[in-house]
Amino acid sequence: MLKPKLILIFVTFILSGYTALAQEKSLFVKGTVDISVTKGTIACDFVLSDFPEIKDYVIRINSGMNIHYFKDIKRSNAALDYDVDTKDSIQSDEVKSYYVHENRGNPARYLPEELEVKYLGMYPVIKDSLSGWMGGDWRGNVAFNGYSVRAEGYQSDWYPVIYDMKTRKRYPEVRYNVKITCSDCKVLFVNGSKPVKAGQATFVSDIPHELSIYCGSFNTAEQNGVWLLNSDMTKTDEQRFFNMANSYEAYYGKQMAIPFKGSLTFVQTDPVADPKQWAFAFFSAPTTFNVGSGEWGMKSLFNSSNSAKNKKSMAHELAHYYFGTLVQPGSEFGMVIEEGLAEYMALRLTRSLEGEDAFETLLKERISTLENFRNYKPFAEVNTEADYCNREYYLYYYAPTLFTAIEKEIGEKAMWQWLRTMAQSENKHADYNFMVDAFKNTVTDPSLQEKIIGKYFRSASALQSAEDELGIH
């Protein structure tokens, strides 16, 4: 048997990309969460410590949560005064942004060494169309669908998420020691840990993760550390799925020279809004959530007419481990890096693993969608969301088409090297210059460098050039 110390060294070695994050001392969240999936309630009692050094902080908490109190537990048992900061620049109606006071006459923002926050939330429980759908469902929704609850940390902030108003940086990834109780659940899952088949369990992680949860009554399946929650797949499809996940993971790991961290989990869940025409998926590393029913559910992954698209979506979400998790946006253009490159990687993976036909269909579909796409700025001039003209077209269609054309010009090898350079830097403020610097480090031939930058990054006719290069119009 390996001695604990040796195991640690081994783990540190294979997860070397992650130790830097862990050493930064991410926020530590300790406490209890009591859930009822049939009543739609979440009661939390957390103690936060190891705060990042921030002066202009706010603590973002989902607006459906009612604050019981904030306490400086090292000092006294008295509740602290607090305010809501309405100037939080990324505030949406999903969250409220709190800051607390010292209660000693000083009006400044105060952060004790250990801050207790206790609160209680109650949400609608949407079982089916008979109970009446919600107007919409989205990533940041705290969603109770009658048999489960789904809540994530990037938008919903169901747990306290620190936000630095000055640098506009949020800290959704936390280390945790959280005891969950849920008397009407059969399975409890906290992102970054393995699912537990019980109504009560304590989840502990020293590696920071977005504290997303999926708890309720549903089936589970596992193979080689890859988990499927609530998939409802046949055994044959389950096996196909595990094979696919393993091959996608291995493909990215090899091309990027950075292996996937932790055990991958795939959550399938029914939306709380009318699910006939749509579905959505999101990645909360290392977990992929698929929110959809019927032909959009994970069950239909291999048999619906959307199979190629569904697989590509899965590949897109997995690519967010590199762009979205290791590399995070620090400007509006950072979204082109996060979404555009994740989509490019998904197309590239499709081409390598699912075949040229599947790839070409997806690429042609992208180019035909862009037929009437106008009034957008080239990469080099993107400063605000308005510069995309249409955000979805720009990030998921335009950008990956350009990246695919660039790959054709510089070669697949150089393309992966460029992506690898970016991912290995683990830059958390990625912007246009970051992408260009990494490009110049990869493609060192000055004339090729200038050609690509001029043609695809700076030119207003970049899309036309890409179509010419790819031979698709």
- Identify residues 385-444 at the interface with Zn ion (CB under 5 A): none
**Could you tell me the smallest distance in angstroms from the CB atom of residue 282 to Zn ion?**
7
**Could you tell me the smallest distance in angstroms from the CB atom of residue 346 to Zn ion?**
9
For tokens 């020691």, what's the residue? Answer: 177
Residue 28 dihedral angles phi and psi, to the nearest 5°: -110, 125
**Could you tell me the smallest distance in angstroms from the CB atom of residue 143 to Zn ion?**
19
Residue 209 dihedral angles phi and psi, to the nearest 5°: -140, 155
**Could you tell me the smallest distance in angstroms from the CB atom of residue 342 to Zn ion?**
5
For tokens 């990027």, what's the residue? Answer: 256
For tokens 């940086």, what's the residue? Answer: 169
**Could you tell me the smallest distance in angstroms from the CB atom of residue 320 to Zn ion?**
6
Candidates 209, 174, 175, 206; CA nearest to 12 is 206
Tokens for 361? Answer: 């269909």
Cα separation, 398 vs 393, in Å, equals 6
Q: Under rule CB under 5 A, how many of the chain's residues touch Zn ion?
A: 2
Tokens for 341? Answer: 């490159």
Nearer to Zn ion, 152 or 339 (CB): 339
Residue 74 dihedral angles phi and psi, to the nearest 5°: -75, -20
Nearer to Zn ion, 342 or 463 (CB): 342
Are 28 and 174 in contact by the 8 Å Cβ rule? The answer is: yes
Q: H or E segment at 65?
A: strand 65-72
Cα separation, 186 vs 200, in Å, equals 9
Q: Is the dihedral of CA 72, 75, 81, 87 positive or negative?
A: negative
- Identify residues 325-354 at the interface with Zn ion (CB under 5 A): 339, 342
Cα separation, 456 vs 447, in Å, equals 14
**Could you tell me the smallest distance in angstroms from the CB atom of residue 321 to Zn ion?**
11
Residue 269 dihedral angles phi and psi, to the nearest 5°: -150, 150
Nearer to Zn ion, 141 or 193 (CB): 141
Nearer to Zn ion, 58 or 245 (CB): 245
For tokens 């008397």, what's the residue? Answer: 183
Residue 66 dihedral angles phi and psi, to the nearest 5°: -100, 125
Nearer to Zn ion, 326 or 342 (CB): 342
Nearer to Zn ion, 237 or 339 (CB): 339
**Could you tell me the smallest distance in angstroms from the CB atom of residue 435 to Zn ion?**
17
**Could you tell me the smallest distance in angstroms from the CB atom of residue 317 to Zn ion?**
7
Nearer to Zn ion, 133 or 278 (CB): 278
Nearer to Zn ion, 90 or 448 (CB): 90
**Could you tell me the smallest distance in angstroms from the CB atom of residue 14 to Zn ion?**
26
Task: Give 367's Cβ-side CA count (13 Å radius).
Answer: 23
Nearer to Zn ion, 315 or 443 (CB): 315
**Could you tell me the smallest distance in angstroms from the CB atom of residue 177 to Zn ion?**
30
**Could you tell me the smallest distance in angstroms from the CB atom of residue 362 to Zn ion?**
15
Cα separation, 149 vs 239, in Å, equals 26
Rounded (5°) CA angle 62-67-71:
120
Q: Residues of 300-320 as b/e, b for ≥16 C-beta within 10 angstroms?
A: bbbeeebebebbbbbbbbbbb
Nearer to Zn ion, 339 or 469 (CB): 339
DSSP string across 102-135: -SSS--S-B--SSEEEEEEEE--B--SGGG--BS
Cα separation, 442 vs 444, in Å, equals 6
Nearer to Zn ion, 214 or 396 (CB): 396
Are 469 and 392 in contact by the 8 Å Cβ rule? The answer is: no
Residues at the contact surface with Zn ion, assessed by CB under 5 A: 339, 342
